[in-house]
Structure 1
Amino acid sequence: MTHSYKISDMTCNGCRAQVEQKLNEISGVVKATVNLEEKEASIQMEEHLAIETLQQALPEKYTITPKAEKNIFSDGITNAVTDEKGELQQLIPLFLIFGYISIASVLLNYDPWQTDSFMLDFMGLFYIVFSFFKMLDLKGFPQSFAMYDPLAKIIPAYGWIYPFIETALGILFLMRIQIELALITTIIVLGITTIGVTRSLIGKKTIQCACLGTALKLPMTKATFIENSVMLVMSIYMLITMSV
C-alpha cells in the first residue's frame, strides 16, 4: 500500500534528498519518493507503519504528518507496467543527452572517421554536459550522490568536488591533454560509482540518480549502470590501444 504525507521545513534539494534517503532506509518501506515543491512524501509500505516510526527516522528539523489519501494496493502486472512506463518517461532527458553527445561526437570525426578521436570527444562532452547539470545544484548534489556512491558516503567532501573532477576530465579529453591520466582517473572514479549503482540495483532500493545532478529527477535504473559501463569500456579500450 502507498500513503501520502506532508513534510515541513524542506527548503532545498539537499533537504529533499536527505528526507528521501532516511525514509527509504526504514525497514518495511518499499519505496519513498519526496516532492520538494509540494512538500509531500509518497511512501509504499509492506505493511502500515506508524507515523511515530517515520518521524523518528527523520532529523528533528522535519515534521511529517499524514495527508488525506486513497490507499493504493498493488495489482501485480498492471502496476508493474505502469511503473515501467513512468520510469522510461523519467529517463527521456538522459536518453536525449546521450543521443546529442553521440551525434556531436560522430559529426566531429566522420570525415575522415577516427574511432579513437570519436571516443575521446564522446567522453569529453559526456563529462562537460553531466558536470554542468551537477553544478546547477552544488548544495544538493553531494547528499544525493552519497546515497549510492561508496566513496562519497565515507568522505562527504568527495561529493562536493566530484562535479569539478568531471569538468577537469572533460577538458583533458577535449583538449587532448594528459589523456592517459584522464583515462585512469575515469576508470577509478566511475568504477567506484558503478559499484554503488550495482549495489542499489541488486538491493532494489528506489533512489534518485545524481548523474544529472538534482535539477532533473531521474530514478536509479539499469540505464545508469549502462551509461557508466559505456564510459568504462571506452576508457579501458583506449588505455589498451595506447599501450600497444
Structure 2
Amino acid sequence: MTATARKAVLYRMVMPEHICPYGLKSKWQLERHGYAVEDHWLRTREETEAFKAQHGVKTTPQTFIDGERVGGNDDLTRYFGGHVLSPDKTSYRSIIALFSMTALIALAASVAAFGTAFTEQASMWFISLWMCVLAILKLQDIERFSTMFLNYDLLARRWVPYAYLYPFGEALAGVLMTAGVLRWLAVPIALAMGGIGAVSVVKAVYINKRTLKCACVGGSSNVPLGFVSLIENLMMVAMAIWMTVK
C-alpha cells in the first residue's frame, strides 16, 4: 500500500495532566508510513467522552484514513501489516530477551576479569546470573508467582510455603554461585530446587499433557510451561554438579 501524500485524521488525548502514549505511537506510525496527520487534541475528559459517544468507540486514540475509521493504536498496527501480541497468547519473547542479555552480561564480566569472553567462568556466571534475574522477576509479585507455581510444582502443592520460599532460594543459590562461595549451601539448594522442578515439569507437561504457563519469569508470564522450563531446572542441576566436581 502506498501511503505517500495520503492524509490521516487522528484524535488523541492531550491534557495538562496526561498525554496518551498510544496517541503518540499512532501519530508516529502514521508519519513513519508517509501520512500527513491532521492531529486533533482531546483536551478534557468531557471532550474525550463526547468524542467516544459520538463515534461509538470505547477508547482513544482513533485514526481515520480516507474517511474510514481504522481504530486504536493496535488496529493501526494491524492496518500497516504489523503484529499485535494478544495478552493471553503464549510467547517465548521474554525468555529469549533474558537469555540473550544474561549471556551478554556473563561474557562482558569474563572480558573484564580475564580479558577474553569465552571462558569456563563465563559459562558458570551465565547460569548463576540467569538464576538471579529469574528470581528478581518472581520477587516483583510473589503472590502471583506462587499462584501460578502451585499449578504444577509437586512440592509446592504438598507444602504451600515452598511456593513463597522458592524465589528466595533461587536468588540465594544464584548469588552464592556467582561469588563462588559457600558451595556447601548453594549446591544442595540448586540440586533440590532444580531436581524437583524438572520432575514437576515432566509430570505436568509430558505425562499429564497439561497446557500451562510457566511461572519461571514471574506471575505475569506468558511463557508456555514445557521445554524452556525443563531446561531452566536442568541448568540449575548441571551448575550444582559442576560446582561439586570442581
Same fold (TM over 0.5): yes
Q: Which amino acid aligns with 1:208?
A: K
Between 1 and 2, higher relative CO (CA 8 Å, sep ≥ 6) is seen in 1
Please provide the CA RMSD for this pair.
2.3
Q: Which amino acid aligns with 2:92?
A: L
Q: Which has the larger radius of gyration?
A: 2
Question: Structure 1 residues 89 and 193, CA, compared in 2 at 3 Å: closer, same or farther?
Answer: closer
Deviates more, 1:172-181 or 1:99-108: 172-181
Percent identity reads 25
Q: State the SS of the aligned residue for 1:210.
A: coil
User: Deviation digits for residues 164-195 of structure 1, max 9, x if unmatched?
Assistant: 11221222122322124212210111100110
How far residue 105 of structure 1 moved from its aligned partner, in angstroms, is 0.8
Of 122, 125, 143, 1:121 maps to 125
Contact in 1 for aligned 2:193/2:233 (Cα 8 Å): no
Question: Structure 1 residues 175 and 237, CA, compared in 2 at 3 Å: closer, same or farther?
Answer: closer
Contact in 2 for aligned 1:208/1:217 (Cα 8 Å): yes
Of 119, 135, 138, 1:134 maps to 138
Question: Does residue 234 of the first structure (1) align with residue 239 of the second (2)?
Answer: yes
Q: State the SS of the aligned residue for 2:142.
A: coil
Of 187, 194, 207, 2:191 maps to 187
Contact in 2 for aligned 1:116/1:238 (Cα 8 Å): no
For structure 1, the residue ranges without an aligned partner over 5 or more in a row are 1-86
Contact in 1 for aligned 2:110/2:116 (Cα 8 Å): yes
Superposed counterparts of 1:32-181, under 5 Å:
90-110=91-111, 111-112=115-116, 115-181=119-185
Question: Structure 1 residues 180 and 102, CA, compared in 2 at 3 Å: closer, same or farther?
Answer: farther
User: Deviation digits for residues 39-81 of structure 1, max 9, x if unmatched?
Assistant: xxxxxxxxxxxxxxxxxxxxxxxxxxxxxxxxxxxxxxxxxxx
Q: Distance in 1 between matches of 2:188 and 2:123?
A: 15
For 1:17, the equivalent position in structure 2 comes to none
Q: Which amino acid aligns with 1:160?
A: Y
Question: Does residue 199 of the first structure (1) align with residue 203 of the second (2)?
Answer: yes
Q: Distance in 1 between matches of 2:225 and 2:141?
A: 18
Question: Structure 1 residues 115 and 88, CA, compared in 2 at 3 Å: closer, same or farther?
Answer: farther
Q: Distance in 1 between matches of 2:153 and 2:119?
A: 31
Q: Distance in 1 between matches of 2:239 and 2:176?
A: 15
Q: State the SS of the aligned residue for 2:218.
A: coil
Q: Distance in 2 between matches of 1:118 and 1:182?
A: 18
Contact in 2 for aligned 1:90/1:219 (Cα 8 Å): yes
For structure 2, the residue ranges without an aligned partner over 5 or more in a row are 1-87
Matched positions, count: 156
